[in-house]
Amino acid sequence: MSTAVVETEEHTALRSAVAALGKRYGRDYMTTVVREGRHPDTLWAEAAKLGYLGVNLPEEYGGGGGGIAELSIVLEELGAAGCPLLMMVVSPAICGTVIARFGTDAQKAAWLPGLADGSLTMAFGITEPDAGSNSHRITTTARRDGDDWLLTGRKVFISGVDIADATLVVGRTEDARTGRLKPCLFIVPRDAPGFQRSQIDMELQAPEKQFELVLDDVRLPSEALVGDEDAGLLQLFAGLNPERVMTAAFAVGMGRYAVNRAVEYAKERTVWKTPVGAHQAVAHPLAQAHIELELARLMMQKAARLYDEGDDLGAGEAANMAKYAAAEACVKAVDQAVHTLGGNGLTREYGLASLITAARVARIAPVSREMILNFVSHQSLGLPKSY
């Protein structure tokens, strides 16, 4: 895709450099890592060493001093090469951003250099079994015990807890049990007593696993609280908007990968007189997928820019729209790519069928298609609420 009109020269250069790295690893690397039950540590370490993982983090803590615009380019290009790093969505994008914006100097010094150089990873846990899309209902509760906090609750579908050094857990303080969500964020080390995880058996072929978490009076020092216990939603959305932009990047990257594979195939595969790609019934849906991915990326660039310029409110709407557009474009692109390969679309060898499940993740997480449509109906269009 051509980018010159909407991207700076630096962005275009970053894009090609990351694309070159992605090409060296590619889909085969990811498939092997998954098959052998490993994690993409080598790619993670190399991306970190080249400054890509911490590109959004402050320079004084070893980051690149850029923003979500740059970080989303990195994830999109790795995805387009077939080797996306899902933990980028949570570790540098959510956790890095929240700590950089709201953490104490000690928290910044403890976490940001490691998140930037890839030696530390953080997971992020907000989803609960009884709250789901309705985060106002989360019940993970923090109560004071002397100077410490005791954190109790359950989380579900939390990605990468096994490999993350800590999980940034969204709870609420005890006196805010009811009413609107007054979230507070805690850094919970992986091996904290009372912090248990069990892997959920997902139908996904990805190196990052999802976990159910049980927090049973997990004792945390007062400095485990990130930011202000009353900062509330502002602080939370400081992390959630980058998450949405990054999910859009993940989806656009995957969609591009799928379309490219299908286009290569459609140029070669000949069962009548011409390659199948000459039939418009094959070509047009691929062209459509390409257009829709490009449009989704434009929205993603807008959201990233608004966020990086400090417009949290504007970024909120744009990030939701970008996540929606990218997920829908990705699901359609993957579906068409699989179809383009005929029977081969469903073989292990061609590796596209597993993307059918993977693409659906972007439609559900971190906020579902319906919740974005609700947001746009209410916030952008001013329509009344049904719930």
80 or 367, CB closer to ligand FAD? Answer: 367
Closest approach, Cβ 26 to ligand FAD, in A, equals 22
Nearer to ligand FAD, 337 or 361 (CB): 361
Euclidean distance between CA atoms 102 and 188, whole angstroms: 17
- In whole angstroms, the minimum distance from the beta carbon of 74 to ligand FAD comes to 19
Nearer of residues 61 and 111 to ligand FAD, judged by Cβ: 111
Q: For strands 166-173 and 141-145, give the pairing.
A: parallel
Among residues 121, 159, 247, 320, the one that binds ligand FAD under rule CB under 6 A: 159
Which member of 96, 277, 316, 366 binds ligand FAD (CB under 6 A)? Answer: 366
Q: Which CA distances in Å does 92 have to 11, 54, 79, 322, 366?
A: 18, 6, 17, 19, 16
Site string for ligand FAD, 27-56 (x = CB under 6 A): ------------------------------
Least distance between ligand FAD and beta carbon 327 (Å): 12
- Structural element, H or E, at residue 158: strand 148-159
What is the nearest approach in angstroms of ligand FAD to the Cβ of residue 146? 29
- Let me know how long the chain is: 387
Stretch that binds ligand FAD, among 156-164, 293-301, 315-323, 347-355 (CB under 6 A): 156-164
Among 371, 375, 376, 377, binds ligand FAD (CB under 6 A): 371
The site for ligand FAD, by CB under 6 A, has a size of 21
Residue nearest to ligand FAD (CB): 132
Q: Binding marks (x or -) toward ligand FAD, 71..110, rule CB under 6 A? A: -------------------x--------------------
The residue (of 121 and 374) whose beta carbon lies closer to ligand FAD is 374
End-to-end CA distance of the chain: 41
**φ/ψ bin of 46: left (φ > 0), alpha (ψ from -120 to 50), beta (otherwise):** alpha
Q: Binding to ligand FAD by residue 285, rule CB under 6 A?
A: no
Q: Is 272 in the site for ligand FAD (CB under 6 A)?
A: no
Side chain identity at 374, as an amino acid letter?
A: N
- The Cα–Cα gap between 147 and 371 comes to 38
CB of 201 to ligand FAD, least distance (A): 12
Give the range of 28-36, 54-62, 120-128, 171-179 binding ligand FAD by CB under 6 A: 120-128
Which residue among 210, 235, 301, 336 contacts ligand FAD (CB under 6 A)?
Answer: 210
Q: Of the two residues 210 and 340, which places its CB atom closer to ligand FAD in the complex? A: 210
Instruction: List, in sequence order, the alpha helices (H) in the chain.
Output: 9-35, 41-49, 68-80, 87-88, 97-102, 105-117, 233-268, 280-308, 312-340, 354-364, 369-375
What pairing do the DSSP bridges indicate for beta strands 148-159 and 141-145? Answer: antiparallel
Residue 346: DSSP 8-state? G
Residue partners of 53: CB distance under 8 A and separation at least 6: 44, 47, 74, 85, 88, 91, 92, 115, 116, 117, 118
Could you tell me if 352 and 265 are in contact, meaning their C-beta atoms sit under 8 angstroms apart? no
Name the residue type at position 244: R
Burial of 202 (0-12, 13-18, 19+ CB in 10 A): middle
If one asks whether residue 169 binds ligand FAD (CB under 6 A), the answer comes out as no
Q: Pick from 33, 80, 87, 126: which binds ligand FAD (CB under 6 A)?
A: 126
Stretch that binds ligand FAD, among 40-48, 64-72, 332-340, 370-378 (CB under 6 A): 370-378
Given a contact cutoff of 8 angstroms between Cβ atoms, the answer to whether 132 and 179 are in contact is no
Residue 356 or residue 364: which is nearer to ligand FAD going by CB?
364
What is the Cα–Cα distance from 186 to 225, expressed in whole angstroms? 5
Q: Does 372 bind ligand FAD (CB under 6 A)?
A: no
Cα dihedral: 260, 264, 270, 274 (round 10): 80
With binding defined as CB under 6 A, does residue 125 bind ligand FAD?
yes
State how far the Cα of 339 lies from the Cα of 80, in Å rounded to an integer: 19
Binding residues for ligand FAD, rule: CB under 6 A, are: 90, 124-127, 132-133, 157-159, 210, 361, 364-368, 370-371, 374, 387
